[in-house]
Amino acid sequence: MNYSSILFIALDTHKTFSEVAYCEDRQRAEIKHFGRVNSTKAALSKLARQFTSKYPNHTLHFVYEAGPCGYWIYRLLTSLGHSCYVVAPSLIPKKPGDRVKTDRRDAIKLASCIRNGDLTPIYVPEPEDEAIRDLSRAREACMKDLKAAKYQLKALLLRNHIQCTVKDNWSPKHLRWLTELVLPHPAQQIVLQEYIQTVSERMRRLERLDNELLHHVKRWRYYPVVKAIQAMRGVRLLVAVGVIAELGDLTRFDHPRKLMSYLGLVPSEHTSSDKRKLGAITKSGNHRARRLLVEGAHSYRYAANISTEMQKRQESLGQEIIDIAWQAQLRLCRRYQRLMKRGKHYNVAIAAIAREMIAYIWAIAREVVLSHVVPANRLARVPA
């Protein structure tokens, strides 16, 4: 089939409906408002058929903003053979004086921006990749909840001037010691027991999520990459899974500097005339992946060496990956020492190490060959 032009279709998506606007790929083409359609699989499939029938010589390019509704619209439309772009709301150009916001205006603005080339699509993970990411984030949320419960329990003991006599905190012995405490008032005793039960339940929940994460990651298509990047120092299972689950396919970046910029690990800059000023890191992009890298960067404070645990992680890996990991450790350990000798702040040095860590992770990921996903296979997994 021969196509002569492109038809841009903008969707301002919501929970129950989507506002639709469209325009042709011509300089002065009018942007038309189509109307409102339901946010269901059947309604959007019908919308695509209507535009295909009305504009048979056009290719359909859909666009909508990323939001809480997820990526099922993208997966549905791409499985039907159409192009679809998901854009970040924060990257959509906005005029300072524009004070009127309606769904119709948002859809028309999206259509205008995509026609003019002012929008940059974001990376959309596959359904299986998003599932592992949800599991990894659930594990992190559980850890935060557990820490909050522990802090509340310790605060209760501190307010009542009770000092712990067990050195191993939160061990079975420590929990038994907590259950033997008797507070002055019955109401406080109830609070103590509730806190103890909350901590115990969240510890069991964390253990369940750890087991499930390990089980599902081993069946994930990115598991070879997760296993490979654990050859690096400061990158164990949780850090490796978190980084790959958040970033997805690292090979989509043709240079590691683009990946550094994507993670917000590059310094901000303000250059005017002959003055150049560098500031703090931009902190743009995925904050969770950036935090995991910063956590792993702390291990490069010490001299380069291969521990027993790291040796076990490298046993089944190729020699090219092991060489990249060792080269990274030698360079980053030296770089940390040089930065500290130059009087750099500790946090500045760690951010610099994290920035270079992702470059070596990118290099290792390129050594692993993965299978590709066929877009047409997504159709059966899209919710009705």
Each residue of 13-64: pLDDT tens digit? Answer: 999 999 999 999 887 789 999 999 999 999 999 999 999 999 998 999 999 9
Q: Which stretches does DSSP call E strand in 182-285?
A: 267-272, 275-281
Mean pLDDT of 140-164: 95
Query: How far, in whole angstroms, is CA 109 from its chain's centroid?
Result: 27
Tokens of 197: 């039960």
Task: State how far the Cα of 241 lies from the Cα of 151, in Å rounded to an integer.
Answer: 27
Query: What pLDDT, on the 0 to 100 scale, is given for residue 1?
Result: 43
Task: State how far the Cα of 93 lies from the Cα of 369, in Å rounded to an integer.
Answer: 38
Query: What pLDDT, on the 0 to 100 scale, is given for residue 165?
Result: 85
- Tally the C-alpha atoms within 13 A of residue 346's C-alpha that lie toward its C-beta: 4
Query: What pLDDT, on the 0 to 100 scale, is given for residue 28?
Result: 79
Task: State how far the Cα of 7 lies from the Cα of 24, in Å rounded to an integer.
Answer: 5
Query: What pLDDT, on the 0 to 100 scale, is given for residue 4?
Result: 61
pLDDT in tens, 189-228: 999 999 999 999 999 999 999 999 999 999 999 999 999 9
The DSSP bridge pattern shows strands 32-38 and 17-24 to be antiparallel
Geometric angle at alpha carbon 368, from 367 and 374, rounded to 5°: 135
How distant, in Å, are the alpha carbons of 23, 60, 291 from that of 81? 19, 9, 37
Q: What residues have CB less than 8 Å from 215, skipping those under 6 apart? A: none
Query: What pLDDT, on the 0 to 100 scale, is given for residue 60?
Result: 94
| 66 closest CA partner among 91, 102, 48, 93 | 91
The DSSP H or E segment spanning 92 is none
pLDDT in tens, 285-305: 899 999 999 999 999 999 999
Query: Whole-structure pTM over 0.85, yes or no?
Result: yes
Specify whether the CB–CB gap between 246 and 129 falls below 8 A: no
Q: Say yes or no to pLDDT of 112 above 90.
A: yes
Mean pLDDT value across the chain: 92
Tokens 């490796």 locate to 240
Query: What pLDDT, on the 0 to 100 scale, is given for residue 379?
Result: 47
Geometric angle at alpha carbon 131, from 130 and 134, rounded to 5°: 85
Query: What pLDDT, on the 0 to 100 scale, is given for residue 166?
Result: 86
Task: State how far the Cα of 229 lies from the Cα of 10, in Å rounded to an integer.
Answer: 39
Instruction: Report the percent of the chain where pLDDT is more than 70.
Output: 95
DSSP states of 146-202 as a string? HHHHHHHHHHHHHHTT-----SSTTSHHHHHHHHT---SSHHHHHHHHHHHHHHHHH
- b/e sequence 314-343, b meaning 16+ C-beta within 10 Å: beebeeebbebbbebbebbbeebeebeeee
Query: What pLDDT, on the 0 to 100 scale, is given for residue 43?
Result: 95
Mean pLDDT of 179-193: 92
Q: Say yes or no to pLDDT of 380 above 50.
A: no
pLDDT in tens, 307-365: 999 999 999 899 999 999 999 999 999 999 999 999 999 999 999 999 999 999 999 99
Task: State how far the Cα of 103 lies from the Cα of 108, in Å rounded to an integer.
Answer: 9
Tokens of 301: 């404070």
Q: Say yes or no to pLDDT of 232 above 50.
A: yes
